[in-house]
Amino acid sequence: MSDKLIKVGISQGDINGVSYELIIKTFEDVGIFEFCIPVLYGSTKALAYHRKAMELPSVNVNVIRHAGEAGINRLNIVNCGNEELAVDFSQTNPEAESLAEQSLQKALSDLKAGLIDVLVLAPSNVDETRILSEQLGHTPLKILIHNSFRVALASDKIPLANVSSQLSINMLVDKIKALHASLIRDFTVTFPRIAVLSFNPGMGIRERKEGREEAEIIIPAIKAADESRIVCFGPYAGDEFFACGDFAKFDAVLALYHDQGAIPFRSISFDEGVCYFAGLPFVAAAPGHGVSYGKAGRNESSEMSFRNALYLAIDVFQNRKLDKEIHANPLKKQYFEKGSDNEKLDLTKDEE
């Protein structure tokens, strides 16, 4: 593996959506090859079909058997799944979803084996959170990111009627701690400031009102996080919090359910936002939008979100590497917390 270039694995996503359009438009820019080696787990036939159907620019492609053969200055492709499956733009079907999952599973297998450094997931309809959890042994915390605007989702795509029953003090404290740790390790934020949204409409600090969830779960969780020396504020009513621009005062926001965070995020980020999967032993990111069937095959999609996901994955990998180097050899304590005046400090002994 190159000491300078980060090897980026890319799952192909849904072949009937916009994923290949985003990939082709991204790697049309040959400058990207100067700082990464991309490995696409997909299909050369699907890529060629998308390029021809939308008259997209050609990309320097290298077909390989496994990630270890990946070369520089080209888009390396490991063919996965059924190469004969036809592309049917804007149509969802089980075969395409199965192909997307096979691609993701293969990429994750190589990620765990150290054959690639980071993973970028092209848009698909598969349950990415479930697959990442099963393969990597950790449930990720989704953080939606656009520049310095970060919104974490305490719960993901579950029915709104079930959100309240899944909220608990311990669950929220765990999410706050995971968000806090990611801000420090992945984004080099020294002293993170986190805002927590309220669950019920019109319930928050400014309104001086509390619903059952705020009084029994959210406020106790914020207090528990504060006792753990995490700078955490709230709860804030979601509508006023975003409308007044209060989100800009914090390093991250914890939304309690998917739409509470995703709707304002996408309104602000447009087509440039990224979804980052925090709390995993490896770096994984994805565009902040879905498969976009309405734009599939029309050459109307912007690749900026996919490109930003690739950039973010590389940046976080470098940040984690730096964080590991910083904490590799911590200084020994040179003081006693308790003891008599005649005790002498022995720096030759290992700390117990």
From first to last of its 352 residues, the chain has per-residue pLDDT tens of 445 799 999 999 999 999 999 999 999 999 999 999 999 999 999 999 999 999 999 999 999 999 999 999 999 999 998 777 889 999 989 999 999 999 999 999 999 999 999 999 999 999 999 999 999 999 999 999 999 999 999 998 888 899 999 999 999 999 999 999 999 999 999 999 999 999 998 887 776 777 899 999 999 999 999 999 999 999 999 888 998 899 999 999 999 999 999 999 999 988 899 999 999 999 999 999 999 999 999 999 999 999 999 999 999 999 999 988 888 877 666 655 555 555 555 555 555 5
**Phi, psi at 77, each rounded to 5°:** -125, 125
Distance from C-alpha of 54 to C-alpha of 182, rounded to nearest angstrom: 39
Q: Is residue 6 part of a domain?
A: yes
Q: Are 186 and 315 in contact (CB under 8 A)?
A: no
Residue whose tokens read 């450094």: 117
Distance CA 192, CA 5 (A): 30
Q: What is the largest CA-CA distance in the chain?
A: 83
Looking at the fold, whether 95 and 220 belong to one and the same domain comes out as no
In a domain, 263, yes or no: yes
Element (H, E) at 322: helix 304-326
Residues 6 or more apart whose Cβ sits within 8 Å of residue 5: 35, 36, 37, 72
What's the CA gap between 129 and 152, in Å, rounded? 14
Residues 124 and 8 in one domain: yes
Give the domain CATH number at 89. Answer: 3.40.718.10
95 and 129 fall within a common domain: yes
* Same domain, yes or no: 24 and 67: yes
CA distance 309 to 306: 5
> For residue 215, what are its two tokens?
């009084």
| Residue 296 covered by a domain | yes
Dihedral pair phi/psi, residue 171, rounded to 5°: -65, -45
Concatenated DSSP letters for 10-66?
EE---TTTTHHHHHHHHHTSGGGGGTEEEEEEE-HHHHHHHHHHTTPPP--EEEESS
Structure tokens at 116: 């690639």
pLDDT for residue 202:
80
Contact 169, 217 (CB under 8 A): yes
Q: Are residues 101 and 224 in the same domain?
A: no
Q: Reading across the β-sheet that carries 274-278, which strands appear in turn?
A: 61-64, 75-79, 36-42, 6-11, 118-121, 283-287, 274-278, 141-146, 149-153, 252-255, 193-197, 231-236
Q: Is 70 contained in some domain?
A: yes
Tell me how many domains the chain contains: 2
Is 135 in the same domain as 235? no
334 in a domain, yes or no? no
Query: Does any domain span residue 313?
Result: yes
Could you say which of 275, 308, 340 is where a domain stops?
Answer: 275
Q: Which domain holds residue 33?
A: 1-140+280-328
The residue out of 255, 275, 295 marking a domain boundary is 275
